[in-house]
Amino acid sequence: MPATPVRTRKPIDWWRWAGRGILAFLLIFTALPMAWMVITSLKTQLAALQYPPQWWPEEVTFENYLRLLSPNNAIGHEFLQYFWNSLYVSILSTVLGVVVAVPAAYAFSRFRFPGRQALFFSVLLRNMFPAVVFLMPLFLMMKWLGLVNTHGSLILTYLTFGLPLSIWLLKGFYDNIPPQLEQAARIDGATRFQAFFHIVMPLSSPGIIATAIYAFIMAWNEYVYALTFLNSKEMLTLPVGLQRFFAEYATDWPGLMAASFIMSVPVVVLFLVLQKYFVRALTEGAVKS
């Protein structure tokens, strides 16, 4: 009879288990504040101030959400106004950023001209400094242009801050698209613009979507410039409008948490819907083939 093979126990991959443990810790570290935010938004003001705090309230209420989403009361009217202001500024700055970043990145990727490398790295130079450094110069410039207390000042500012990384990301993506595809289209009679629009644009759609996600999130969450440039209550964006829940003697913590949760919903939904394009753009645009 043939000898029965001896089964050897597979050694434990400690590095893999250590990685899983670190990922589990990071998941808990990031999910716990979100869970506490949602739970607090379902509490009454008295339950939110209770000590020691309770993880799950004895009385669950959706009054905070109904109050914020109802335009018939003062708080709901203001909150919805801030929400639409943020949506308007974020969408417009995202669209303009993509419109400017796409041809700029394509030019850096395909054309060779004197000072190309120096100009490309000078575009990235702005990201080496904190955004708050440019606060007063940009405020004086917007005041000179007559754009203070207008959404145009925020759109121009977000466009300026989002362009460097958008151009860098898209350039890396265009570098991975073989130029022979455009040359073949040119041989068939297409112009450079037609080759770019019909060949390069569809292939670079994941990179464009990733750039749009980045620009939208940056504009949606920005606080300092919106606080400085806007001084009218009707013009405020959502991050600045959240301070309305902070009173002199008491803070409406359930209302603040409900507003913060509603504010996070568009970004989360946008990222979940377009996640595959975002990951594909980062992986394909990061390594030049």
Among residues of the chain, what percentage have pLDDT more than 70? 89
Q: How many CB atoms lie within 10 A of CB 143?
A: 13
Q: Is the pTM of this model over 0.85?
A: no
Give me the mean pLDDT over the 226-238 stretch.
88
- Residue in this structure with the two tokens 């394509």, named with its chain if needed: 106
Residue 80 CA to its chain's centroid (Å): 20
Under DSSP, the state recorded for 115 is T
Domains belonging to the chain, first-starting first, are 66-286 (1.10.3720.10)
3-state secondary structure of 138: helix
**3-28: buried (b, 16+ CB within 10 Å) or exposed (e) per residue?**
eeeeeeeeeeeeeeeeeeeeeeeeee
Residues 278 and 273: their CA atoms lie apart, in Å, by 10
Least confident residue range of 125-139, 160-174, 270-284: 270-284
Which pLDDT tens digit goes with each residue over 182-207? 888 888 887 888 888 888 888 888 88
CB 251 within 8 A of CB 245: yes
Which pLDDT tens digit goes with each residue over 82-93? 999 999 999 999
Give me the mean pLDDT over the 141-170 stretch.
89
